[in-house]
Amino acid sequence: MRYFIYTLVLCSVLLYSCSDTDDDVDTVVVNTDFPDFSFFNFSSDIVLLQYQFTAFDQMGRYSDIAALEGISPNIQRVEIAGDVAGLYAGNMVWLKNVRTGTVVSGTNFFDESETEFRSWTINSEQEVFSGYNDSNALDNLKLRVISLNTGVVSDLQIGALGQNSIPAYHEGRLAFYENQSTTNGDQQSTLVVVNTDDVEVLGLEVLEGVHIFGLVYGDANDFYTFLSNNTYIRYDATTFTQLETGPSSFNRFLDGSEQVVNGKLYYTFMQSVPVVVANFPAVYDITSQETTFVDVTPALNTLTQENGWTDVTRTTFTYVASLDAWLIGYRYLDQSGTERGGLAKFSNEGELLINLEVTNFPWNLVVLE
């Protein structure tokens, strides 16, 4: 889940056996019923670990991709797009396809200057998108599209948006919005959709009298915006036309990484008090307007007590539609005070289905469905 900068300096080391000439570490598990997946872990300032698990042979493998693939270990941010992880370090980016293993990189993909001020950057499977302003007043948003495969750079004029637009990408469509105030203090939102296949602005819509809580893509070539006036709008992602509107009780901000499957929104519920898991999964039924909390705390509490762990913290999670289940990564301190991790599979009722313990805890999970 997106737009946060994680700076992790971990003291843990790989405890599984490996040869002096092989940076890969194999771990074999039995009957996990996990799909193929991968996650990243920042082990130190010179090591960037990727854990690759294949369901076919029930094997997980760590590899130091900083050493093997020339990727900087000082990754500050990871953006997931399909099977690709965008790994960002300063003004450099590597797009790593975790299914094929291919890596493309961009060096100095965006040079901020006295006349260009970057607002945000995310990626697709092959491109990097940067929203930026070229006005000192920060009121003239443009979009720079950089293809790392071809090296082609394109700039699109967007309009009078500032620095606070929130982007989300899915299958050739980049959508972003900005909540604004009119000159008389009323609410207003500007919603933009870009066709990234043809590198053109598909449309811009100003929504008067409302703010957008979040934008989320669905499973029917569509996307939803949830609004502050207790309504939602569903759009066709191909044409950027409205498909339907309806009442909504959803009032929490989204970060662009959530999804709607079969009319239900799967998202992160942010808790206000410290608990074993600071945030946990939730499901909002768009038709009935009912929210179901997937409370994984009791199951993690049980694991903690049975194993003598402390400081259990959720690090990543994703809903996997093909499994109708959640994969939740966590880290903890074992009885000796060593930092460890695991990946747990939960049902929508919060039942722990399977737990896989790993040496270096999961971060930035990519599930290959």
Half-sphere exposure of 257 (CA within 13 A, CB side): 23
Task: Provide the 8-state DSSP code for 276.
Answer: S
Quickly list DSSP for 27-41. EE-SS----EEEEEE
Round to whole Å and give the CA distance between 252 and 237. 22
* Beta bridge mates, 166: 177
For 262-328, the three-class secondary structure string (H helix, E strand, C coil) is: CCEEEEEEECCCCCCCCEEEEEEECCCCEEEECCCHHHHHHHHHHHCCEEEEEEEEEEECCCCEEEE
Tell me what pLDDT residue 362 has: 92
Sign of the alpha-carbon dihedral angle for 270, 274, 280, 284: negative
Round to whole Å and give the CA distance between 27 and 50. 13
Residues 130, 174 contacting (CB under 8 angstroms) = no
CA distances from 367 to 73, 200, 323 (A): 22, 30, 11
Query: What type of residue is 70?
Result: G
Tell me what pLDDT residue 273 has: 59
Tell me what pLDDT residue 45 has: 79
Whether this prediction's pTM lies above 0.95 is answered by: no
Q: Which residues, other chains included, contact 100 with Cβ-Cβ below 8 Å and sequence gap of 6+?
A: 83
Residues 345, 29 contacting (CB under 8 angstroms) = no
Residues 245, 238 contacting (CB under 8 angstroms) = no
Residues 62, 14 contacting (CB under 8 angstroms) = yes
pLDDT one digit per residue (tens) for the chain, 369 residues: 443 333 332 233 233 333 333 444 444 444 458 889 999 998 777 899 999 999 888 889 999 999 999 999 999 999 999 999 999 998 899 999 999 999 999 877 777 677 788 888 999 999 999 999 887 767 789 999 999 989 899 999 998 887 677 899 999 999 999 999 888 999 999 999 999 999 999 999 999 999 999 899 999 999 999 999 999 999 999 999 999 999 999 998 888 889 999 999 999 887 665 554 467 899 999 999 999 999 998 999 999 999 999 999 889 889 999 999 999 999 999 999 999 999 999 999 999 999 999 999 998 899 998
Tell me what pLDDT residue 166 has: 81
Residues 10, 340 contacting (CB under 8 angstroms) = no
What stretch of H or E contains 302?
helix 297-307
**Which tokens belong to 150?**
């071809």
Residues 331, 303 contacting (CB under 8 angstroms) = no
Tell me what pLDDT residue 32 has: 57
Round to whole Å and give the CA distance between 224 and 173. 13
Tell me what pLDDT residue 165 has: 74
